[in-house]
Amino acid sequence: MHEKGKLRKEIRLLKDQFSREELTAMSETTIQKLKCSLRFQSAKTVMMYYSLPDEVNTHDFIHEITADKNVVLPVVIDHENIELRIFHNSDEMKYGAYDIMEPTGEVFDKYEEIDVAVIPGMAFDRNGHRLGRGKGYYDRFLKKIPNAYKIGICFNFQKVENVPSSEYDVNMNEVIS
């Protein structure tokens, strides 16, 4: 746990060195690569995340892909769990826990239909290990969608040599930065 906390702090310091504008520009590079992924292209139902200001920006991209994919987003329901709701448009969104925008539409529970899950993180390594913000929400949720292809998404500086990992941590199938 201590090791994970140390890495989170290191990444936070790195993030602070970039302006919002720089992070936005870097986000476009990452999103472009995600668009090129054949796994992503062929997915019909994708779990995305609606980004916070310090994460790879997904806002425009989510609107764009809604034209030909089903997009579902996490909604925090308590101190440990998320559920999914279908994203329709920005009018059907409100701020939830942690100041994350969440859809207000219907709950999505056909988990087996999720082809690809795009997951943010504080850090990732080459083996797909993921460091989150320290609450384990994704670790708990991703166990419920074992067959979805999991793509970790981050800025280049968030790719590290080794992410400390425990039995609870769920690995990514691929990391795009």
169 touches Mg ion by CB under 5 A: yes
Residues 115-154 that bind Mg ion (CB under 5 A): 139
- Could you give the string, one character per residue 138-167, with x where binding to ligand ADP holds by CB under 6 A and - elsewhere? -xx--x------------------------
**Which of 175, 172, 177 shows the shortest CA–CA distance to 30?**
177
Structure tokens at 155: 């800025």
| Residue 131 binds to ligand ADP (criterion: CB under 6 A) | yes
| Contact between 168 and ligand ADP per CB under 6 A | yes
Pairwise CA distance, residues 163 & 21, whole Å: 28
Q: Where are the beta strands (DSSP E) in 43-137?
A: 45-47, 70-76, 82-86, 93-95, 101-103, 107-108, 116-120, 123-124, 130-131
Query: Which span sits near ligand ADP by CB under 6 A: 10-18, 34-42, 53-61, 135-143?
Result: 135-143
Binding site for ligand ADP (CB under 6 A): 4, 131-136, 139-140, 143, 168-169
